[in-house]
Structure 1
Amino acid sequence: MPTRTLIVALLATSTLLSAQTYKDPRSSLEIFEFAAPGVLSMNLYYHFSNFTADDSNVIFAGGSQIFRLEMKTRTVHQVTTGDGVSPYTACPHPKNANLLYYMRGSQVTELDLAANRERRVGDIPMPHVGGHQQPSFTADLKSLVVSKMRDAKTWEIGLMDIATGSYKTVITQGFRIGHIQHHPTLPLIFYVWETGGYAPQRSWLVNDDGSANRPFYASTDPKQWVTPLKEWMTHESWVPQTGEMTMIMDKVGIVIVDVDGKSRLLPGDYWHVHARPDGKFLVADDNKGNLWLIESATDNRRLLASGLREGVRPSHAHASFDHSGRHVLFNTGHTKQVIALIDLKAAGLF
Structure 2
Amino acid sequence: MNSKILLNSIVLFITATTFAQIGTRFPSEKKIVKDPVTGQELIFLTTKSAGDSKTYPTHPQWTSDGKWLIFRSNRVKGEAMAVNEKSGVLVQVTEGGYNGTLCMAQKSMKLYFMRNGQEGKMQIMEVNLEAVFEDSKSGKMKPVSAYERVCGTTNPEMGASGDMAMDADEEKVYFRVGKEEAARHLAAGVLIEKSFGPRNMGAGPGGIGSMSLKTGELKHVISVPFQIGHIQSNIWNPGELVFCWETGGKSPQRTWTVMADGSGLRPLYPEADFEWVTHEAVISKDEVAMAIMGHRKIGIEKDSPVEVAADGKIRNPVNPGQESNWGATGTREKPTGLAIVNLRTREMIIAGQTKSGSGLWHVHGSADGRWAVGDDFSRSLYLIDRKTNEMMMLTTGHKETAADHIHPTFNRDGTKIGIQSAMLSEDNRTMNICIVNVPKEWLKRKVK
TM-score normalised by L of structure 1: 0.86
Residue aligning to 2:293 = 250
* Corresponding position: 1:267 with 2:281: no
Q: Which of 164, 168, 186 is equivalent to 2:219?
A: 168
Residue aligning to 1:137 = 166
Alignment of 1:1-350 (within 5 A): 10-35=21-46, 39-63=50-74, 64-83=78-97, 85-86=98-99, 88-96=100-108, 98-105=109-116, 106-116=122-132, 117-133=147-163, 135-151=164-180, 153-183=204-234, 184-185=236-237, 187-218=239-270, 225-228=271-274, 231-240=275-284, 242-251=285-294, 252-259=336-343, 260-265=345-350, 266-268=352-354, 269-309=359-399, 312-336=401-425, 337-344=431-438, 347-350=440-443
| AA matched with 1:226 | A
Q: In 2, Cα distance between the equivalents of 1:10 and 1:189?
A: 35
Q: In 1, Cα distance between the equivalents of 2:402 and 2:49?
A: 19
| AA matched with 1:33 | F
- SS of the counterpart of 2:361? strand
| AA matched with 2:176 | S
Gaps of 5+ in 1: 1-8, 219-224
C-alpha RMSD of matched pairs (Å): 2.2
Deviation at 1:263, TM superposition (A): 0.5
Gaps of 5+ in 2: 1-19, 117-121, 133-146, 181-202, 295-335, 426-430, 444-448
Of stretches 264-273 and 52-61 in structure 1, the one that deviates more from structure 2 is 264-273
Q: How many residues align?
A: 327
Per-residue Cα deviation, 1:101-129 (whole angstroms, up to 9, x for no partner): 11112211111012230111112223144
Superposition misfits of 4+ residues, deviation over 6 angstroms: none
Give the fraction of aligned pairs with identical amino acids, expressed as a percent: 29
Kept after mapping to 2: 8 A contact 1:17/1:36: no
Q: In 1, Cα distance between the equivalents of 2:171 and 2:259?
A: 16
Kept after mapping to 2: 8 A contact 1:153/1:175: yes
Deviation at 1:186, TM superposition (A): 5.5
Instruction: Mark the CA change 1:258 to 1:75 in structure 2 (over 3 Å): closer, same or farther.
Output: same
| AA matched with 2:361 | W
Deviation at 1:321, TM superposition (A): 1.5
Q: In 2, Cα distance between the equivalents of 1:187 and 1:130?
A: 20
Q: In 1, Cα distance between the equivalents of 2:49 and 2:375?
A: 27
Deviation at 1:130, TM superposition (A): 4.9
Q: In 2, Cα distance between the equivalents of 1:95 and 1:139?
A: 9
Q: In 2, Cα distance between the equivalents of 1:25 and 1:227?
A: 40
Q: In 2, Cα distance between the equivalents of 1:232 and 1:317?
A: 20
Kept after mapping to 2: 8 A contact 1:17/1:37: no
Deviation at 1:82, TM superposition (A): 2.2
Structure with greater strand share of residues: 1
Q: In 2, Cα distance between the equivalents of 1:185 and 1:191?
A: 15
Kept after mapping to 2: 8 A contact 1:255/1:264: yes
Kept after mapping to 1: 8 A contact 2:113/2:162: no
Per-residue Cα deviation, 1:240-263 (whole angstroms, up to 9, x for no partner): 2x4111010011201111124310
TM-score normalised by L of structure 2: 0.68
Deviation at 1:270, TM superposition (A): 0.5
Deviation at 1:340, TM superposition (A): 1.1
- SS of the counterpart of 2:69? strand
Q: In 2, Cα distance between the equivalents of 1:77 and 1:26?
A: 33
Q: In 2, Cα distance between the equivalents of 1:36 and 1:124?
A: 38
Residue aligning to 1:5 = none
Structure with higher Rg: it is 2
